[in-house]
């Protein structure tokens, strides 16, 4: 276990440095390429209930995706993390403007407030068809390197127990986040697909 943790930590550091070297323009450019790939994806086109993350500065930008979800009349859910544990819920976002009303967390990302119970919780409703997953690093076989809190692995385990079953999972990545192989443990759940810009 210690060796796995150390390997993950070293890789996190390396990927963070690679992404930090990208200009904002390059992040925006790759984000749009990846978003366009998602918009054409059959799972995205057919899904009704989709969970998407509000990006941190070192993650693929998701604003265009959220705009598109509302444009197509899909139901959008976003994460609410409990910072003291690895628990996360996906709560409904009612509009693009709704994001502006959300409080900022210590990680500088917006999420519904702790006591905000007015939003539909995806798992108490009709489950999810698709989850767009963030992460620090990915390999081609769907292994994912998160930030070490286990939010998504824990959440996907809950989804698997939901009557609807596990939603399809698509990760969004900058090319700089791709690795030959990500070290994983028994609790790490594989992602179905990783979208990134292809080298033409």
Is 146 annotated as contributing to ligand binding? yes
Is 10 annotated as contributing to ligand binding? yes
Is 150 annotated as contributing to ligand binding? yes
Contact 150, 82 (CB under 8 A): no
Is 151 annotated as contributing to ligand binding? yes
Classify residue 148 as left (phi > 0), alpha (psi -120 to 50) or beta.
left
Is 8 annotated as contributing to ligand binding? yes
The CB-side HSE value for 193 (13 A sphere, CA atoms) comes to 16
Is 152 annotated as contributing to ligand binding? yes
Is 11 annotated as contributing to ligand binding? yes
Is 161 annotated as contributing to ligand binding? no
Is 12 annotated as contributing to ligand binding? yes
Is 70 annotated as contributing to ligand binding? no
Is 149 annotated as contributing to ligand binding? yes
Binding residues, as ranges, are 8-12, 54, 59, 144-152
Annotated binding site for ATP: 8-12, 144-152
Binding residues for substrate: 54, 59
């Amino acid at each position: 276990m210690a060796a796995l943790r150390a390997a993950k930590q070293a890789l996190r550091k390396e990927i963070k440095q690679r992404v930090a070297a990208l200009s904002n323009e390059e992040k925006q450019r790759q984000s749009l390429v990846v978003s366009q790939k998602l918009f054409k994806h059959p799972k995205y086109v057919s899904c009704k209930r989709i969970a998407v993350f509000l990006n941190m500065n070192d993650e693929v930008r998701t604003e265009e995706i959220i705009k598109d979800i509302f444009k197509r009349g899909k139901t959008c859910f976003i994460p609410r993390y409990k910072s003291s544990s690895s628990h996360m819920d996906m709560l409904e976002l009612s509009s693009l403007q709704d994001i502006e009303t959300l409080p900022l967390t210590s990680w500088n990302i917006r999420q519904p407030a702790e006591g905000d119970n007015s939003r539909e919780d995806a798992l108490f409703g009709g489950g999810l068809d698709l989850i767009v997953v963030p992460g620090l690093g990915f390999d081609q076989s769907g292994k994912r390197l998160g930030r070490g809190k286990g939010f998504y692995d824990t959440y996907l385990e809950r989804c698997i127990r939901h009557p609807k079953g596990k939603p399809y999972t698509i990760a969004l990545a900058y090319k700089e986040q791709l690795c030959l192989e990500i070290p994983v443990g028994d609790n790490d759940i594989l992602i179905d697909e990783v979208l990134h810009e292809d080298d033409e």
